[in-house]
Amino acid sequence: MAQQRWSAIRLVAAFIVAASGCSGPRGGDHGSGGDGDDESCADGEEECGGTCVSACPQDEVRNDVSCACEPQCREGRVWENGRCVPIGGDGDADGDADTDADGDADTDADTDADIDTGCDLGEENCDGFCSDLDYDEDNCGFCFYECDSFFTCDLGQCVCDGTPEECGEEFCGDGDCNARETVDSCPDDCCDRGEHICRLVGPQCGCDDGDLCVLQVGERDCVAGDESREAFEDCSDEGNGEYVCEEGTICALPPGSEASCRPYCDDDLDCGGGGSACAWNFLDGAGDPIEDAWICSTPCDPLTSSGCSPGFGCRVYQSDGGDDLTECTAAAAEGGEDGDPCDSQTDCARGHTCISADGNITCREYCVRAGDDDCPDGLTCRQIEGLPTIDGVEYGYCS
């Protein structure tokens, strides 16, 4: 198995905390607040035309006539016919009918060509900002379609931009900047990979077809792989230096956890939910965190430990940003049941967590706070400080 070094910068101590003596909302009671307006409307609503309507998003404004939410146009323009047009311009933003020179009403319908977008030829007005949709990485092909990192916008499509420029006409190779090609191995082939980096997070780019972008001794590199195993699939039998995980994942063994094909990630959205979060950071040879080199924690069920290999239990942790996540960590080979003493999560059996309550630190069975059905007869699902919640489900412990 490929050896890696890890930092738990985003993964902090488990929920070994004092149990709350009673349940209830945090932060005290909710006051009425506000300035007294819209007293008849519920929270998140506002009055328009005598009716309560949903409040507009922050970047939109209310049309006082139709009560609809519309994009915020820049000064001197108003939203009409699906775009921002000058007030009183060809877009009829003043609401008056066009008239001919003789004063008669103009019956010709406005066309897109008649409406002044305020942009140069070949540009599109994207909510008040002019954009070249052929080459704008924030508006590629159409407004608000943003290209991922390592991709650039070319003729309205996001294309990989992770490789160096192609060579000139004089070269000894094929003229392409291949994954493992350097000026040392081919002096006359002017491709220099000195600053070459590829994209770790899927969809990957910057490598030849069939190659994978991985970390090699703290540096990104392109390697051959068979991609036979999917994300979070066990890879504990992988040989050292072999790459069997699908594109965008790496066989990894974070401290105290299990070896599996972990997705590379930039943020939690890359991990797919289910408790999985962008939690583990690679370290370089000096023990320092490597920038933009993270992998996901394991999605699993704290009650049943499904998603974890035998010998591992699913536990709820908290990131340094306060977000809840799950990870498979070693479970006690024997013991670790309700009431057994513990110093850490790994002293407890699958389905149990190490909790400090009533002056004792013991293993307690996980439960769902929505009801007591998960707890043995006579026990109640009690609240854990911090209210650990995964995909809308709050977890507690039986006591």
- Asked which of 123-137, 176-190, 260-274 is least confident by mean pLDDT, the reply is 176-190
Question: Looking at residue 17, what is its pLDDT?
Answer: 24
Average pLDDT over residues 254-261: 90
Domain membership flag for residue 349: yes
Average pLDDT over residues 149-157: 76
Question: Looking at residue 369, what is its pLDDT?
Answer: 92
In the predicted model, is pLDDT for residue 395 greater than 70?
A: yes
**Position with higher pLDDT, 160 vs 327:** 327
Residue 84 banded pLDDT, cuts 50, 70, 90: low
**For a pLDDT cut of 70, what percent of the chain falls above it?**
66
- Asked which of 16-20, 149-153, 327-331 is least confident by mean pLDDT, the reply is 16-20
Domain membership flag for residue 345: yes
For the chain, what is the mean pLDDT?
73
Question: Looking at residue 83, what is its pLDDT?
Answer: 56
Domain membership flag for residue 134: no
Average pLDDT over residues 213-240: 83
Domain membership flag for residue 368: yes
pLDDT in tens, 366-393: 999 986 678 888 889 999 988 999 999 9
Question: Looking at residue 160, what is its pLDDT?
Answer: 66
Domain membership flag for residue 95: no
CB 113 within 8 A of CB 121: no
In the predicted model, is pLDDT for residue 332 greater than 90?
A: yes
Average pLDDT over residues 286-311: 92
Domain membership flag for residue 275: no
Average pLDDT over residues 151-159: 78
Average pLDDT over residues 231-248: 82
Q: Enter the pTM of the model.
A: 0.57
Residue 358 banded pLDDT, cuts 50, 70, 90: confident
Residue 337: domain span: 6-21+300-398
**Position with higher pLDDT, 284 vs 43:** 284
pLDDT in tens, 343-352: 999 999 999 9
Question: Looking at residue 256, what is its pLDDT?
Answer: 87
Domain membership flag for residue 242: no
Could you identify the residue written with the tokens 């977890």? 395
Question: Looking at residue 63, what is its pLDDT?
Answer: 82
Question: Looking at residue 142, what is its pLDDT?
Answer: 86
pLDDT in tens, 105-148: 444 434 444 456 678 888 999 988 899 998 898 898 889 888 87
Average pLDDT over residues 292-319: 93
Per the structure, how many domains does the chain have? 1
Domain membership flag for residue 17: yes
